[in-house]
Amino acid sequence: MKFLPIFRLLSNYPFLSFAAKLFSEIEIEKELEKFPEILENAKRDIIVAINGKSNQKNPLNDIPCLECDLNCWKCSEIGIYENCNLCMNCFENCKISYSREAEEKIRLSAKVSVLSYISAKMLVSRLEDWVRMRYAVNEAEAFSEAFDDERDEILYILAKEMGIKLRGWNVYITSYLKASSRIKDDDWRLVNRFFIDGYVKTNRSQVVRIMKEFLRIRLFEKKNSFLSVLEPHLKEIESFVIKEKEKKVDLSFGDVDTNCFPPCMVEIISEIRKGMNVPHTARFALTSFLLNIGMKIDDIINIFSTAPDFDEEKSRYQIEHIAGMRGKGAEYTSPSCDTMRTYYNCIANCNVKHPLIFYRNCKKRKKFRT
């Protein structure tokens, strides 16, 4: 069936750039009226992200697109698909035979998936940055779980489509830097890596990690177009966002004056307390901030105890490392507001250059008043 595997790809990975080109705005409006589940899916993805719950994807896996020995996957004979130029001829030559009913099911699944994705993107693009960021982080996490189980050949196509330059499982330096600059882990620093002809030596699981970062960037990008049919759904999500922001976070940690925490740190703590999987950059920012203002290590561990991947021993090790009690013995200073903005961890404009200045100014004002 010509091109049938492409529909499986679109169904599982609706963020592929050619997916958005398949429908005009008029067609999207018509389809949204025909299939109400599209909007329900889009809203669910956004609300789940705001709530900090994990969003599971259910990939379609029932197209054995690599078992065919016709002209499919000729590129694989050359090497590990590194010469793939996304021509998609392998899909064009595909001769898998499916029943009409099964084929319809696959095509419909692709349509619903792509249109749900486009609708969700249009909706989050109209919401505050922090909502868009939560959506991007949550969805990238969910898709990257599917990448883990994906066939090598498909993974290779996806990575290329996202703009990641690969040779085998090694990643070209510019692609590597774009992702690694957002990963706060010494292993990812360039000085700790090996190179072969401009390619950084990486393995399959590291390529998946890089894909996740590229995808997060793609998902965070704003979509300029909007459809009037989405207006009532946008209002519904906006009122949910307002309620979410009104929820008070209980912060009490011994002597540290939690009422003086800047909004970014309150937000990160609130996300962790809701069991959200916050990015490494936010964890590092919070840990170094709390250490800098004199919070005890046990209290910091306590904050992280609600994180979904919490491991006490690992957390203690990392916190002690940031505190300068391990490694080279240097205590880290928490990132400036500029750096916080770069990693999308800033959520307000407080007219300060550093979260620590926000905290100290607030403390000074309180002391002066008393």
List interacting residues with ligand SF4 (CB under 6 A).
Answer: 262-264, 337, 340, 346-350, 352, 355, 358
Question: What are the backbone dihedrals phi and psi of residue 30, each rounded to the nearest 5 degrees, phi first?
Answer: -60, -45
Nearest to 278 by CA among 245, 241, 315, 242: 315
Quick check: 9 and 154 in contact, CB under 8 A? Answer: yes
C-alpha span between 292 and 298 (Å, rounded): 15
Residues 90 and 73: beta-carbon distance below 8 Å: yes
Q: Which of 102, 218, 104, 229 is nearest to 163 (CA)?
A: 218
Tell me whether residue 106 or residue 264 sits nearer to ligand SF4 (CB atom): 264
Nearest distance in Å: CB 263, ligand SF4: 4
| Phi-psi label, residue 128: left if phi above 0, alpha if psi -120 to 50, beta otherwise | beta
Do 281 and 302 contact (CB within 8 A), yes or no?
no
Which residue, 263 or 275, has its beta carbon nearer to ligand SF4? 263
Among residues 206 and 281, whose Cβ is nearest to ligand SF4?
281
Shortest Cβ distance from residue 168 to ligand SF4 (Å)?
40
Return the number of the residue (114 or 276) whose C-beta is nearest ligand SF4: 276
Q: How far apart are CA 302 and CA 282, in angstroms?
A: 16
Q: How far is the CB of 280 from ligand SF4 (least distance, A)?
A: 17
